[in-house]
Amino acid sequence: MKLNKIGLFILACVIPASCADLDYTEQNPRDEEWTYEYFAEGIKNMVFDVYAQIYNDEFGTNSAYFLAGATDEAQYALETGAINNYTNGGWSPANPYSNTYTKCYRAISEICMYLEKIDKADLSEWELNASYDIWSHQLELFPYELRFLRAYFYFELFRAYGDVPLVTTTLSNAQANSMSRTPVDQIVKFIVDEIDEVAPHLPVSYASEMGAEIGRVTRVAAYALKARTLLYAASPLFNPSGDQSKWDKAAVACKYIIDNAQVWGLKLSSYSALWGKEAFFNPELIFGIGRGDSNSFEMANYPVGVENGSSGNCPTQSFVDMFEYQDNGETFAKRHPAGIDLSSENPYEGLDPRFALTVVKNGDEWPTNGAQKKVIETFVGGFNGSPKYGATPTGYYLRKFVDGSCVTTADNQVSQRHTWIIFRLGEFYLDFAEAAFHATGSANDKTYGISANDAINVLRNRADIQMPKFTEDGDAWIERYERERAVELSFENHRFWDVRRWKKGPQYFKTIQVASISSSLQLSRSTVSRQWDDKYYFYPIPQSELKKNPNLAPNNPGW
């Protein structure tokens, strides 16, 4: 099933609580009665329209859907990339840039309306239709799916804005514009309570359900949302008092996923199988957004010099520095803190295998398709290096999520399916490790059956990774864990939020290291300064919303 945006007759008319126009007009012959009598074109389309809001390309193709360019993971090659607004000072309540606030409340208002009206659905006239049993079964599941989606959008809202209005019914304009912000702890409780109520009603998998439409919300995805929500709620940004009981709740929720993974049909995959045309069927994937055949992501991220390549998200030296060597776990930064003569030394040999699967470096053959395969030259004057316009500003190009089999030439193009990860099993080994460490005070404590180090070592011991075990504790463990999380979950839109919830923006985001390679293959480092202000821990409430609803004031601190 494709979860692409579906054109519907639903019109958002109020933010934060919008309403859908289901009244008959000459332009819109599909009135409310029609909508709730026609399943595929009516009810089902409405539900799928809400699904589509989870991932609605808010950053545009020129930022290639990633938040990485606003972190120490990457520098977006083109100055016109919208993601640069996060780091160049172009961010304000008047120019909030992200449409998270309006997107989420539009979806929430539609969900509230559907939940209140879905009992109007009458499929009795379709009893002789061959799809009647499937439609009836799906109709029973839709309210639970919608409640999950509402909880998911509230997670997105509190993660970005902190306190936000909690709306669970349809509202008039006047009501919507008088709502006050609800404290985060109450938003978290709402999400957790909703998941506890709806999860038992959702199937573990849709593969054996009537209609077999995979891609919809499962019981496993529901528990994944609960676990991630509790991890955020326990983190310093939302837990300034350091309440250990919040960490305990997060650890228990994450361990529940780990303990039930096998029963649910989940298992860790090879790292490279997390993307590519078959990734949607990967047994590690808990919930993801599938996209049909396309090569636009490759056009955005193939190196300059590859036909129609625009460089896109270029991994930084700061990111490369986090990778460890297989022999003893020493980091790239520690072994090579200064310049490197690449003509006589290969500093990348023996690095964590995830490096080669994530980063394209000078000398690599890329992309993999026969029509465009070539040796990449990122050095000054090289075929893919400066001074060409748009060449990598960091010395590296992106490989992870980029399908090298896609052909982007003017003629004979090749496209592939893409899958964007929302939840996967590997995340929850890391989430558990973090929560268990803070709940118990030790990375080796086995209160939950396994220790934090045990959980991380499961990931590092995968057949295609085989990295030295974690044995550290205390502050040394925290430092290494934060690197491991950055490496394992790189370019999956975690780093942007992780550093914020840890309240470590100045440490990681104020400056980044990039590499420059001379024509004689001398790699040197330089520091790039970025704008960081502690107000960036939360997004600003859009000024347009504050004007409509003064009860949302004051804005988030610093805005």
Q: Cβ distance 310 to 300 under 8 Å? A: yes
pLDDT for res 451: 98
The 10s digit of each residue's pLDDT in 514-554 is: 999 999 999 999 999 999 999 999 999 999 999 999 999 99
State the number of CA atoms in the 13 A half-sphere of 182 facing the CB.
15
Evaluate the omega torsion of the peptide bond into residue 236 and state whether it is cis, within 30 degrees of 0.
no
**If 0-12 CB within 10 Å is exposed, 13-18 middle and 19+ buried, where does residue 227 land?**
buried
Residue 430 pLDDT more than 80?
A: yes
Residue 257 pLDDT: 98
* Secondary structure element (H or E) that encloses residue 528, with its range: strand 522-529
Query: Which residues neighbour 250 within 8 Å (Cβ) at sequence distance 6 or greater?
Result: 227, 230, 231, 233, 234, 431, 435, 439
pLDDT in tens, 469-511: 999 999 999 999 999 999 999 999 999 999 999 999 999 999 9
Residue 152 has pLDDT above 70, yes or no: yes
Distances 61 to 82, 315, 512 between C-alpha atoms, Å: 9, 18, 24
Higher pLDDT, 136 or 259: 259
Say if residue 197's pLDDT is above 50: yes
Confidence at 7, pLDDT banded by 50, 70, 90: very low
What pLDDT band is residue 69 in, cutting at 50, 70 and 90? very high
Indicate if the pLDDT at residue 37 is higher than 80.
no
| pLDDT of amino acid 12 | 25
- Pick from 17-26, 162-171, 257-266, 405-414: least confident: 17-26
Q: What is the rounded average pLDDT of the residues 251-266?
A: 98
Cβ neighbors of 37 (< 8 A, separation 6 or more) are: 121, 122, 123, 125
CATH architecture of 218-289+415-503: Alpha Horseshoe (1.25)
- What is the average per-residue pLDDT within 289-304? 93
- The H or E element spanning position 527 is strand 522-529
pLDDT of 330-372, one tens digit each?
999 999 999 999 999 999 999 999 999 999 999 999 999 999 9
How far out from the chain centre does Cα 272 lie?
Answer: 18
The structure tokens listed for 305 are 């010099």
| pLDDT at 289 > cutoff 80 | yes
| Average pLDDT estimate for 277-281 | 95
- What average pLDDT is seen over the chain? 90
- Cα 468 to Cα 97, 331, 490: the distances in Å are 42, 12, 19
132 pLDDT tier (thresholds 50, 70, 90): confident
The residue type of 106 is: R
10 Å CB burial of residue 132 (0-12, 13-18, 19+) is middle
pLDDT-based confidence at 20, cuts 50/70/90? very low
CA dist., res. 41 & res. 187, Å (int): 33
Q: Residue 9 pLDDT > 80, yes or no? A: no
Is the pTM value of this prediction over 0.85?
yes
Residue 98: φ, ψ to 5°? -70, 140
Class of domain 1-61+99-217: mainly alpha
Q: Do domains 1-61+99-217 and 218-289+415-503 have the same CATH topology?
A: yes
Q: Calculate the alpha carbon distances from 260 to 29, 47, 219, 263, 296 in Å.
A: 48, 29, 11, 5, 37
Task: Evaluate whether 511 touches 321 at the Cβ level (below 8 Å).
Answer: no
**3-state secondary structure (DSSP) of residue 292:** strand
pLDDT digits (tens, 9 = 90+) for 10-19: 222 222 333 3
Residue 494 tokens, joined: 């975690």
Domain boundaries, the chain: 1-61+99-217, 73-83+296-413+504-536, 218-289+415-503
Q: How confident is the model at residue 36 (pLDDT cuts 50, 70, 90)?
A: low
